[in-house]
Amino acid sequence: MTNQYYVYILTNKNKTVLYTGVTNNLQRRIYEHKNGLVKGFTKRYNLDLLVYIEETIDVKSAIAREKQIKAGSRKKKIKLIELANSKWEDLAKELKLL
């Protein structure tokens, strides 16, 4: 069985704050974010809209990519999101993660 790892970006309804994370269980992690179960930054800023996802089978590359995205400017993150999801739709609905 191949493991999957996901790098993802969340935002809030106003698109004012972006959060980049990594997980091996996207459905569980998005559930946690949407239900305020993740204490800290994402809960404080109501970050529960999944607007970007990358998938890989290598945990080291997932972590490296997360760090690369986090190190980038807000402008670069917005460009990344808009290339893949121009309408900033909540991908959790599209992927039936809810």
pLDDT digits (tens, 9 = 90+) for 24-48: 999 999 999 999 998 899 999 999 9
Tokens read off for 42: 């994402």
Residue with tokens 């996207």: 26
In the chain, count of helices (H) and strands (E)?
5, 3
Cβ-contact 1, 19 below 8 angstroms: no
The residue extents of the domains of the chain are: 5-94
Phi/psi of residue 44, each to 5°? -60, -35
**Mean pLDDT for all residues in the chain:** 94
Output the CA–CA distances (angstroms, integers) from residue 88 to 4, 12, 57, in the order listed.
24, 11, 25
| Res 94: pLDDT | 86
Q: Give the neighbor-by-neighbor strand order of the sheet with 5-11.
A: 18-23, 5-11, 49-56
Enter the CATH code of domain 5-94: 3.40.1440.10
pLDDT at 1: 58
